[in-house]
Structure 1
Amino acid sequence: MVTVLPDVHRARRLAEQVPDPELPMLTLADLGVLRDVTAAADGTVVAALTPTYSGCPAMAEMRAEVAARLRAAGFDRVEIRTVLDPPWTSDWITPEGRRKLTEHGIAPPAAAPRHPAGPVPLTLSPTRRTVTCPRCGSVDTEETSRFAATSCKALWRCLACREPFEYVKEI
């Protein structure tokens, strides 16, 4: 019996369009969560996802939605794998994803901090950062809460236009 491999490019295009459950203006491709779509030797479509952080509650929804869309498109055998290495970083958000965040009033993350190999340095004072207001472009902003509607965002306020906004934390 000859196994016909599925159209992996079509499967990838479908998986790339799945919206993030917490930031629905972004697709899994925009967010950098969709790592790969391949075909196993038995014809199973395998989609690899990396969570934005350990214990991300949206992962179950992402996995289910990718699998459902692939099956609805006629891919009978689908497997969703969680890939943890390398860990996701906010640097994987695409330029298009960053544009979409700003367009929806959410400040995209700054570059993720770089740490040398080995122990991560501990700092006891808060990290001072500049976050640009996604509405007016001012850098005269302040953090009002380290946590917002989801763990990956913080609440900020612009002191120039006085508007509150969310900021996606850099990881």
Structure 2
Amino acid sequence: MVNVCHQESAEAAWEAAAAVPDPEVPCVTVADLGILRWVRLEDGVAVAGVTPTYSGCPATLAIEFAVEQALREAGFEARVERVMSPPWTTDWITAEGREKLRDYGIAPPVESGGKATLFGAPTVACPRCGSTDTERLSEFGSTPCKAHYRCKACAEPFDYFKCL
């Protein structure tokens, strides 16, 4: 039998951690991105598993500190564990997260592209007008995980969240 109070506490811990926004792309949360892997209670301590988007991500420590702080503010003793395996993939971005990126003006990663999307430029739809008549201007956008594109239909520049 599951202790209902324990289950409610675990859910509250998840909700607190899941609400943390990504510091580089604040329109999405760590849960939207799929980098918050789990939150569990261990001997009264809320432990959150966080996977960086890539090993050199400069926001990793900021994210870990923010998740720990959110758990503490929710009344938990807290600890964050960095989970490196399996490595994060853009496939873990939720449907809601993809929509939030698009609404923010960032084209979400192409879904189910596999490793082939790492080579060459994928067909990327403009987040503003939806046209696929777009071109990559630079492999790197405002952060290393994004590329810079331009829509030929509406002439607007935009970032594309690269597939990993």
Taking structure 1 as the reference length, the TM-score comes to 0.87
Corresponding residue for 2:89?
89
Shift in Å, 1:110: 0.7
Contact 2:91–2:111, Cα closer than 8 Å, also in 1: yes
The amino acid across from 1:46 in the alignment is V
CA contact (8 A) 2:27 2:101 kept: yes
- Judge conservation of contact 1:31–1:97 (CA < 8 Å) in 2: yes
Q: Secondary structure at the match of 2:114?
A: coil
Indicate yes or no: 2:132 matched with 1:106: no
Match of 1:46 in 2: 47
Matching residue of 1:31? 33
| Residues matched between the structures, number | 158
Alignment match of 2:21 (pick from 19, 22, 33): 19
Counterpart code for 1:34: L
Q: Secondary structure at the match of 2:132?
A: coil
Rounded Cα–Cα distance in structure 1 between residues aligned with 2:30 and 2:91: 14
TM-score, normalised with respect to structure 2: 0.90
Say if 1:37 and 1:161 are closer, same or farther in 2 by CA, change over 3 A: same
The match for 1:63 is 64
Could you tell me which runs of 5 or more consecutive residues in structure 1 were left unpaired when the two chains were aligned: 116-120
Residue 7 of structure 1 aligns to a residue whose secondary structure is helix
Q: Which amino acid aligns with 1:70?
A: L
Aligned partners of 1:48 and 1:81 also within 8 Å: yes
User: Equivalent residue for 2:123?
Assistant: 130
User: Equivalent residue of 2:55, what SS?
Assistant: coil
Task: Give per-residue Cα distances to partners, 1:113-133, cap 9 Å, x unaligned.
Answer: 435xxxxx9x9xx51421101
Aligned residues: CA RMSD: 1.9
Amino-acid identity (%): 51
Listed one character per residue, the Cα deviations across residues 5-48 of structure 1 (whole Å, up to 9, x for unaligned) are: 681110001101000001100011100010000011x2111000
Residues of 2 paired with 1:161 and 1:60: CA distance?
A: 38
Q: Which runs of 4+ in 1 moved over 4 A?
A: none
Match of 2:155 in 1: 162
Following superposition, the deviation at residue 135 of structure 1 comes to: 0.7
| Structure with the larger helix share | 2
